[in-house]
Amino acid sequence: MTATMDPRLFPRRVRYAALLTVNVFVFMGNMYSSGIATGFDDLAADLHLSYQKLADLISWSVLSMGLANLFWMPLALCFGKRPIVLVAMAMFVAGIIWTVVAKDFNSLLGARVFASFGYGAIESLGPSILADMFYERNYSSAMAMYALFLSAGSQVGPLIAGYLIGARGWRWFFILCLIIAAVNLVTTFFFLPETLYEGESSDEPEMDDKEKNDAFRSHIEAIPEISKVNSGRQRQQEQFTYGGHWKSLFKVGLSDAAREKGVFKHLMSLFWLPLPMLLVPGVLIASMMYGVVLGAVVSISTLAADLFSPPPYNFSSAALGLFSLGSFVGILVVWPIAGPLTDSLSSYLRKRNNNVHKPEHRIPALIVPFLIGPVGLVVFGYTISRNMQYVAPAAGSAMSAASLTLVPSVMLSYVVDAYPHTSGEALVVVNTSKNIVAFGLSKGSVSWMTNQGVAKMFYEFAGIQWAVLTLGLPLYFAGPWIRKRTSKYF
């Protein structure tokens, strides 16, 4: 079942309600995944396990989120994004129920992997749904809002968990997650429309060969540049009514492509299509950048209990939660500039390029996370290795977490912009790959710190981030040539 009209023509209240329900899902998934880190003391005492073993609860959850993208996106492109999001949310809620009643570590780990697999659907479907609903001029800002909720889940979640676990125990944290996720499931049913739209090509403006070639290689910038005549005609053909919108919420069907090719054949092609995109340099670099900034945030969250619970800090669960709030402050500081900075630089470079847009115009905004993120890791490692006052490592953690808002805002927008016709598949690759990278970095973080020491570990981590973020420079210059060579395949 596809949308009967272009979702970008929906009323603003409909699009913003959908944006909110998607963002709450993102917030809840990350709160559920990372929040339990502040309760490792309680879990260790309850389950008689070490911190290193408990770290698996987070790292395997991260991996499950990533691999889920390979499963959910093909189903969404076949049966529609709305029903698949609802099914995934139901799986997430069921997984949290299992988490609440888990009796031992293996059951708890299985529950978190199951729930995280359900949550993982929104990691690629979320940016894809936003791309369906917002024009290029607003897309980066919508993605910045998405990134804010994603980051808030991983930073505010531990704060909530810390106080709740300290007062009532770790199961009550998951009970709270269950209540919010169940409410979000209900609101999503009423507020999330179908955004998979397969419009007629006749609705698009006529272009000469050069414009068609540019539009093929560049995303949404070419789409909103519709003449007033064509735009008016399209709006006459597609009239939004709340009655029709309400009825559409209860309809489920197949996409046009699935009906034409057959469900099984279409699904198999969709499952296969993301894999070759790993060979596309822009997609691979986006995965690496997102993975290393996410891996740093997850590693700090995973190691926090081990670093701050013993002397000289002696942090309780509540204090660990407050420490994570410092990271969220860093996110709030950079969030107002994340989307607007990318959009403004893109507009400025477009004007300097004879008003011709290129997806690479977004990449210069990476200079901000390049200057902030790795420096934050150096500060964190240096200060905590010398047992300095907790404010200093909190500042380093905040600087690192700020990159988790900036990098996705730039690179996910770039990927969608550069490969519009396969943006869904590209997002699957990016979200799967970055979680695999983050899983590897967080899974080995405890042994890495044990072998190298906390200072050297985070210095090396900073070096990895600088090296990966530097790849944006060759991508800026070589990107147009790469897209020209790969456009006929993707």
pLDDT per position as a tens digit, 397-422: 999 988 887 888 788 888 888 888 77
| pLDDT the model gives residue 156 | 84
Residue 2 — pLDDT band, cuts 50, 70, 90?
low
Do 157 and 35 meet the contact criterion of CB atoms below 8 Å apart? yes
Q: What's the CA gap between 148 and 402, in Å, rounded?
A: 10
Identify the weakest region by mean pLDDT among 137-146, 151-160, 229-238, 342-351.
229-238
pLDDT digits (tens, 9 = 90+) for 228-246: 434 443 443 457 777 777 7
Residues above pLDDT 70, as percent of the chain: 90
Residue 70 has pLDDT above 50, yes or no: yes
Helical H segments across 252-366, by residue range: 256-261, 263-272, 281-308, 317-352
Q: What is the mean pLDDT of residues 119-127?
A: 88
- Higher pLDDT among residues 64 and 231, named by residue: 64
Q: Roughly how many angstroms between the first and final C-alpha of the chain, as a whole number?
A: 24
Match 């609101």 to its residue by tokens. Answer: 187
Residue 209 has pLDDT above 70, yes or no: no
Across the chain, what does the average pLDDT equal?
A: 84
Residues above pLDDT 90, as percent of the chain: 36
| pLDDT the model gives residue 1 | 59
Residue 387 has pLDDT above 50, yes or no: yes
CATH of domain 7-197+271-486: 1.20.1250.20
- Higher pLDDT among residues 414 and 252, named by residue: 414
| Residues contacting residue 32 through CB under 8 Å, at least 6 positions apart | 92, 96, 112, 115, 116, 119, 157, 174, 177, 181
Give the domain ranges of the chain.
Answer: 7-197+271-486
| pLDDT the model gives residue 238 | 57
Residue 164 backbone class (left: φ over 0; alpha: ψ -120 to 50; beta: rest): alpha
Q: What's the CA gap between 374 and 407, in Å, rounded?
A: 13
| pLDDT the model gives residue 339 | 67
Q: What's the CA gap between 47 and 24, in Å, rounded?
A: 31
In this prediction the pTM is: 0.79
- Higher pLDDT among residues 12 and 357, named by residue: 12
Residue 106 — pLDDT band, cuts 50, 70, 90?
very high
Match 């691999």 to its residue by tokens. Answer: 67
Residue 78 has pLDDT above 80, yes or no: yes
Q: What's the CA gap between 293 and 465, in Å, rounded?
A: 7
Q: How far is CA 41 from CA 296, 306, 316, in A?
A: 22, 9, 8
